[in-house]
Amino acid sequence: MIQSRRFTRSIQTTVSSCLATLSICGVANAEPSTLPPELGYDMGFMETPRSLAIGGATRAVSNSIEALYLNPASMATARVYHFGAMAQIWPQAKRQTYGAAAVDSLINAQHIAGGISANWSAQDSDGINRDSFDLRFGLAAPLSDRFFLGGTMHYLTLRQDGYPREDGLEPSVASGGLDGSPIVQQITFDAGVTIKPTDELSVAAVGTGLTDPGHGFLPFTFGGGAGFSTEDFSIEVDALGDFTTYDRTKMRVMGGGELLLADSFPVRGGYRWDEGTSTQAVSGGLGYVSPQFAVEASVRGVVAGPQSLTVVFGFRYHLESAGLSGGGF
């Protein structure tokens, strides 16, 4: 009985601590966000701890779950079988995102890679009151040892039952969404190409929203990047244009790098300039990576423009190291 009571108290303490943490982060805060909705929605991009930490510049040097989200072609550049989960918290934008993904490039002898992800997001429930479900399925293939091609089917369903409070906006038919019904329920496609002139150098080009749905929830974007990567160090610079969200094309430029210390501890940093939201942000992250799994965390803070913070936690399990796949490195 005493042990049972102690266990109950322990559970209560843990739950209370978790609720307090969420409250501090702003998730449980009942005040609506005053930030532009575009800042919290972030073009619909999903970022892992690694991609966020290095400024979002992972289109050329990614090969795991980041590739599924940012450049499907890069899924085929390495032999991996990874499963991961992540959580994103945006305190000022009052957004939270939770999801899971898997990427397998050991499917067959032709090195064709596949990936799938599912993510749920809620943004500003006391203001714009937006929630969405994002599902992606990607395939990639090496056309040669130096040329990789990939594509992703991207499904999004999104509801909005509130209205933005930026600059004191009032509710209206245009800004209020649809009560209880999705305002977006659509499929589009992303495609990318990665070229590796050498083992260390990678160049990528990526397009998203290629069916051009005509709205900023699945924007048509095009961009790419160039990166240099070794076993212990990588650096990359990316740029893209958003052709849909705003009244004219807006640019985003990203750059960052990472250094692996003691074969297990990645240290990352990055920078992002976003013309659309008129912001500049710096980011950083730490983690622990072993042959079997990885635990990572990162944070991005806006240093010029509307103040906003993003925190991402992630866990990745390397199934190929557990002998659960038929292939190997």
CATH number, domain with residue 157: 2.40.160.60
- In this structure, the answer to whether residues 66 and 13 fall within a common structural domain is no
Residue 74 in tokens: 């890069």
pLDDT of 329 over the 50 cut: no
324 or 279: which leads in pLDDT: 279
8 or 193: which leads in pLDDT: 193
Q: Compute φ and ψ for 268, nearest 5 degrees.
A: -130, 150
pLDDT, mean over the chain = 87
- In this structure, the answer to whether residues 200 and 138 fall within a common structural domain is yes
Q: What is the 8-class DSSP label of residue 32? A: P
Distance CA 172, CA 169 (A): 9
Task: Say how many domains are in the chain.
Answer: 2
What is the three-class DSSP state of 180? coil
- In this structure, the answer to whether residues 295 and 316 fall within a common structural domain is yes
- In this structure, the answer to whether residues 291 and 233 fall within a common structural domain is yes
- In this structure, the answer to whether residues 24 and 85 fall within a common structural domain is no
Task: Give the mean pLDDT of 262-276.
Answer: 97
How many C-beta atoms surround the C-beta of residue 70 within 10 A? 29
Q: Is residue 211 part of a domain?
A: yes
- In this structure, the answer to whether residues 25 and 106 fall within a common structural domain is no
Q: Is residue 83 part of a domain?
A: yes
Q: What is each CA distance from 158 to 180, 219, 313, in whole angstroms? A: 10, 14, 24
Q: Is residue 265 part of a domain?
A: yes
- In this structure, the answer to whether residues 16 and 79 fall within a common structural domain is no
Q: Is residue 155 part of a domain?
A: yes
Of 173, 172, 228, the C-alpha closest to 201 is 228
How many C-beta atoms surround the C-beta of residue 171 within 10 A? 12
The model's confidence at residue 166, banded by pLDDT at 50, 70 and 90, is low
- In this structure, the answer to whether residues 108 and 155 fall within a common structural domain is yes
Residue numbers of the domain that contains 9? 1-30
312 or 167: which leads in pLDDT: 312
- In this structure, the answer to whether residues 4 and 131 fall within a common structural domain is no
The model's confidence at residue 4, banded by pLDDT at 50, 70 and 90, is very low
- In this structure, the answer to whether residues 147 and 15 fall within a common structural domain is no
pLDDT of 197 over the 50 cut: yes
pLDDT of residue 171: 53
- In this structure, the answer to whether residues 293 and 164 fall within a common structural domain is yes
Q: What is the pTM of this model?
A: 0.84
pLDDT in tens, 10-52: 434 433 444 344 444 444 456 888 899 999 999 999 999 999 9
Q: Is residue 318 part of a domain?
A: yes
pLDDT in tens, 58-111: 999 998 899 999 999 999 998 889 999 999 999 999 999 999 999 998 877 778
- In this structure, the answer to whether residues 16 and 129 fall within a common structural domain is no
45: Cα separation from own chain's centroid: 5
